[in-house]
Chains A and B, each alone.
Chain A
Amino acid sequence: MKLPVASSQLPVPVRPGENARATGNGPLMTLRLHDITKRFGPTVALAGVSLEMNAGEVHALVGENGAGKSTLMNILSGLYRQDGGTIEFGGGRIAHIHQELALCPHLPVAENIFLGIEPKRRELFERAAALLHQFGRDIDPRKRTGDLSLADQQVVEICRALALDARVILMDEPTSSLQRANVERLFRLIHQLRERGITILYISHFLEEIREIADRYTVLRDGASVGSGALKDVSDAQLITMMVGRTLEPLGDSATRRLGDSLLSVNFPHASFDLHAGEIFGIAGLIGSGRTELVRAIFALDPHGRRFGYLSEDRKGEGLALQMSIADNVTMSRFETCSRGGWIDRAKQNRQTERVMQRLRVKASGPQAKVVWLSGGNQQKVAFGRLLHQDPDVLLLDEPARGIDIGSKADVAREITALAAAGKAILIVSSYLPELFALCDRIAVMTRGRLSEARPTSEWTPETVMQTAIGSAA
């Protein structure tokens, strides 16, 4: 769906006299939601969400994928209308910064910032430059937007929200595609916004990140708000319990695995290592350091074979056939296991898919449900489930936990550990260091297209990984 950057171009969702009242609680209360409900046909997306945000507050909205966070965001931005409940809003605009940035890549930066509210041509670039300058960024407003880094594109989106004079900015997992240095820059930017009295509703799966940036939180589970308060009064364990409603199993222990023979020997000029059966090999590094290109190059060694299984970081772009069923997506790389003479045996295909869905706890109506209907976390599980079904010797996983919730992360991590225990060789690329440290036997770091020497995980610390990652770039 290609929406304008800020859905605030749409009419402000709350029209005076309908279900909004000027709030009588003084100037501080910006936005108050009471018992919001929303159904899509038979599906209850929101079953009663209440939330209060004060002016100049960063409010974290946490919950597993499918808990209703995106639906709530879409109601606030005016894309959907709630079925029940009231929204009280002090007035002004609400801007929505989407998880997958929604800018026109072919247009210059300035035109993206002012798309739909274009000033005179003469002023366009001046005003854009002034906005960009406030955030200490030297982005050329005449530059083609598609040529900017993701982090810079995000700055453009935020500038757009400011150009619209938004009072509330909704940020949907803004750090999911950023490297650490840019995350810090984003946080400084959020501080600046907060000082101007702008309210931010912030969705993220990273608890440590939420603690760093947010003041208060609201937890959603199964479409309802199940907890709210100041972050300083709540522990991570309490938050996770509220989110998942179950306690998480610990990840597998890499020390108990035995390494087998070398299954893959990579000998590129810029990267060489051996990958052994039963091994989980981690590649850390900044985004843009060439990690994804390395994985692609390895996959290209055996393009039409079945020995390698590849999980792309870009689930929608090159992972899933969204309009097709879960069953077709899961069995796509090995149709021959559920077909005879070229004809697919649907019953067999469904059985095989159901097994994979159970292993990964995919939430869906059944194996024939279309993937496009699933939440992001469940889509990621389907993409990963395809590898389980394909059963390759070597798994190449690029950001296997990207954009998925804590419960799904644990499900995927558990399966990765199980696959290694079953003798598969696994290569994981991740920006999320705790994931690498929890899973990997060895880690190597990518810096400017070169891979460092691989060392056992115990010889690394998060600090040394980061130092190596930015070392020669400094």
Chain B
Amino acid sequence: MKRFALRSLTSILAPLFGLIGVAVLFAFLTGAPERYLSTANLRVVLAQTVIVAIGALGMTLIIISAGIDLSVGSAIALTSVITAVALREGFQPVLAIAMGILAGGLIGLVNGLAITALRVVPFIATLGMLGVARGLAKWVANQQTVNAPATWIHELAVTFPSKPWMLFAPGVWLTIALAVLMTLVLRNTVFGRRVFALGSNEAAARACGINTTRLKIRVYSIAGLFFGLAGVTQMSRLRQGDPTVAVGVELDIIAAVVIGGGSLNGGEGSIAGAMIGALVMSLLRNGCQQMGWPNYVQEIIIGVIIVVAVAADRYRAARAAEASA
């Protein structure tokens, strides 16, 4: 049991070092470590991370199962619009949130059905959904942003929470709680182990009597719920539903999962790693902004980081494999 915990720790060690490296680097570069590493700046970074981090919770599940979801950005836009419309139409905030989250789950369910019943590979099925959900978002929003009346939802992902004792936005705490929950689910539940089995060897999982069709539909649906929550958070940050928001966010989310040790071949990945991956990217962006570097520098650096992180992980895996051959 102890060795098991230790082993899963070593697999997130590399991204953790990356995180510390980035933090130390920019603390130096900015010449003002006390400001860069201050609580205030940390609040900014974390508030910026929340949407990608919540998305990465769902994406980790999908990537471990050897799937992929390219429709996340569109799903976030659609669910943010739905939440805003619900609020505008006078629904209770709780109901509006539930509608946003469930809409995400529904998108995931459709993805899962397309992948299993229609036998379309996940890349293509979700590529199709990327277009469909974006179009639906624009339709529901009538091609313009939907202003949502002020409710406590707006507090969800604010940089500076109104109650100082909270330290960070409620959305940050929610993300941490969900990350802990998902870690336990993946590691210690029958569902979690079956998702790993599905990603590691689908044929073996089937031979074990596991209903892989149902399992895949569940994976995409549950991930969709997280994407719906990310959409609600998006709405909360902008204080409106914007059908053109979050274009390409799925790539940031996939990058977070992969930096954190997820393998697109399935069977590998961790929630802790994906959370660190999301943080690494936010810290980088924030550091570049503080340095006053132009946007394109950030883009180049983040692109390089993704490839280097995965290369480092493959190197580690190869060493481990050789050591056991």
Residues on A lying within 8 angstroms of B by beta carbon are 1, 40-41, 43, 45, 70-71, 74, 80, 299, 303-306, 310, 312, 314, 317-325, 328, 332-333, 335-336, 339, 342-344, 346-347, 350, 366, 368, 370, 372-373, 386, 390
Question: Is B325 close to A, CB under 8 A?
Answer: yes
5 A-B pairs with least C-beta separation: A318-B203, A321-B200, A373-B324, A333-B208, A335-B190
Q: Is the CB of B197 within 8 A of A321?
A: yes
Additional A-B contact list (13), CB under 8 Å, known A312-B204, A347-B1: A43-B324, A318-B206, A318-B207, A319-B207, A321-B267, A323-B267, A324-B267, A333-B208, A335-B194, A339-B190, A343-B188, A344-B189, A346-B188
**Closest CB of chain A to B324's CB: distance in Å?**
4
**Closest CB of chain A to B282's CB: distance in Å?**
29
**Closest CB of chain B to A302's CB: distance in Å?**
9
Question: Is B304 close to A, CB under 8 A?
Answer: no
Q: Is the CB of A312 within 8 A of B323?
A: no
A332 to B204 alpha-carbon distance, docked (Å): 10
A81 to B7 alpha-carbon distance, docked (Å): 27
Q: Is the CB of B209 within 8 A of A303?
A: yes
Q: Is the CB of B201 within 8 A of A74?
A: no
Enumerate chain B residues within 8 angstroms of A71, measured Cβ to Cβ.
325
A42 to B201 alpha-carbon distance, docked (Å): 29
Contact of A335 with B188 at beta-carbon distance under 8 Å, contacts A321-B267, A368-B4 already known: no
Enumerate chain A residues within 8 angstroms of B163, measured Cβ to Cβ.
none
A343 to B190 alpha-carbon distance, docked (Å): 6
* Interface bin, chain B: 20 to 34
Among A80, A304, A370, A390, the one with the most B-chain Cβ atoms within 10 Å of its Cβ is A304
**Closest CB of chain A to B265's CB: distance in Å?**
9
A390 to B203 alpha-carbon distance, docked (Å): 17
Enumerate chain B residues within 8 angstroms of A322, measured Cβ to Cβ.
200-201
B:17-58 near A, CB below 8 Å:
none
Enumerate chain A residues within 8 angstroms of B268, measured Cβ to Cβ.
323
Question: Is B211 close to A, CB under 8 A?
Answer: yes
Question: Is B3 close to A, CB under 8 A?
Answer: yes
A350 to B2 alpha-carbon distance, docked (Å): 12
**Closest CB of chain B to A177's CB: distance in Å?**
18
Q: Within the complex, which residue of B7, B206, B208, B324 is in contact with A386, where a contact is CB–CB below 8 Å?
A: B208
A74 to B322 alpha-carbon distance, docked (Å): 11
Contact of A366 with B3 at beta-carbon distance under 8 Å, contacts A43-B323, A373-B324 already known: yes
**Which secondary structure dominates chain B's binding surface?**
helix
Contact of A324 with B196 at beta-carbon distance under 8 Å, contacts A317-B203, A332-B205 already known: yes
Q: Is the CB of B209 within 8 A of A305?
A: yes
**Closest CB of chain B to A70's CB: distance in Å?**
8
Enumerate chain A residues within 8 angstroms of B191, measured Cβ to Cβ.
342
18 inter-chain pairs at a CB distance below 8 angstroms, sorted by A residue, are A45-B325, A70-B325, A74-B325, A80-B322, A306-B209, A317-B201, A318-B206, A318-B207, A319-B204, A321-B201, A323-B196, A324-B196, A332-B193, A342-B191, A343-B189, A343-B190, A346-B1, A368-B1
A80 to B4 alpha-carbon distance, docked (Å): 29
Residues on B lying within 8 angstroms of A by beta carbon are 1, 3-4, 7, 188-191, 193-194, 196-197, 200-201, 203-211, 267-268, 321-325
Q: Is the CB of B196 within 8 A of A321?
A: yes
**Closest CB of chain A to B315's CB: distance in Å?**
15
Enumerate chain A residues within 8 angstroms of B323, measured Cβ to Cβ.
40-41, 43
A370 to B268 alpha-carbon distance, docked (Å): 12
**Closest CB of chain B to A204's CB: distance in Å?**
20
Q: Is the CB of B203 within 8 A of A312?
A: yes
Q: Is the CB of B200 within 8 A of A304?
A: no
Q: Within the complex, which residue of A40, A344, A350, A366 is in contact with B322, where a contact is CB–CB below 8 Å?
A: A40
A323 to B321 alpha-carbon distance, docked (Å): 11
Q: Is the CB of B325 within 8 A of A40?
A: yes
Enumerate chain B residues within 8 angstroms of A304, measured Cβ to Cβ.
209-211
Contact of A333 with B324 at beta-carbon distance under 8 Å, contacts A321-B204, A344-B190, A368-B3 already known: no
Among residues of B, the one whose C-beta sits closest to the C-beta of A40 is B323
Enumerate chain A residues within 8 angstroms of B206, measured Cβ to Cβ.
303, 318
Among A312, A319, A324, A328, the one with the most B-chain Cβ atoms within 10 Å of its Cβ is A324
Among residues of B, the one whose C-beta sits closest to the C-beta of A319 is B204
Contact of A350 with B203 at beta-carbon distance under 8 Å, contacts A305-B209, A323-B267, A324-B197 already known: no
**Closest CB of chain A to B205's CB: distance in Å?**
7
Among B207, B322, B323, the one with the most A-chain Cβ atoms within 10 Å of its Cβ is B207
Contact of A312 with B207 at beta-carbon distance under 8 Å, contacts A40-B323, A323-B268 already known: yes
**Closest CB of chain A to B102's CB: distance in Å?**
22
**Closest CB of chain B to A77's CB: distance in Å?**
13
**Closest CB of chain A to B185's CB: distance in Å?**
9
A70 to B267 alpha-carbon distance, docked (Å): 26
**Closest CB of chain B to A78's CB: distance in Å?**
14
Among A305, A310, A323, A342, the one with the most B-chain Cβ atoms within 10 Å of its Cβ is A323
Q: Is the CB of B209 within 8 A of A333?
A: yes
A408 to B207 alpha-carbon distance, docked (Å): 23
A45 to B322 alpha-carbon distance, docked (Å): 11
Q: Is the CB of B322 within 8 A of A328?
A: no
Q: Is the CB of B200 within 8 A of A342?
A: no
Among residues of B, the one whose C-beta sits closest to the C-beta of A331 is B193
Enumerate chain B residues within 8 angstroms of A40, measured Cβ to Cβ.
322-325
A1 to B208 alpha-carbon distance, docked (Å): 25
Enumerate chain B residues within 8 angstroms of A305, measured Cβ to Cβ.
209
Q: Within the complex, which residue of B189, B205, B207 is in contact with A310, where a contact is CB–CB below 8 Å?
A: B207
**Closest CB of chain B to A63's CB: distance in Å?**
16
A310 to B203 alpha-carbon distance, docked (Å): 12
A322 to B201 alpha-carbon distance, docked (Å): 8
Enumerate chain A residues within 8 angstroms of B190, measured Cβ to Cβ.
335-336, 339, 342-344
Q: Is the CB of B324 within 8 A of A320?
A: no
Enumerate chain A residues within 8 angstroms of B200, measured Cβ to Cβ.
321-324
Q: Is the CB of A342 within 8 A of B189?
A: yes
A347 to B197 alpha-carbon distance, docked (Å): 20
A373 to B3 alpha-carbon distance, docked (Å): 15
A321 to B324 alpha-carbon distance, docked (Å): 16
**Closest CB of chain A to B201's CB: distance in Å?**
5
Q: Is the CB of A328 within 8 A of B196?
A: yes
Enumerate chain B residues within 8 angstroms of A319, measured Cβ to Cβ.
201, 204, 207
Among B205, B208, B268, the one with the most A-chain Cβ atoms within 10 Å of its Cβ is B208
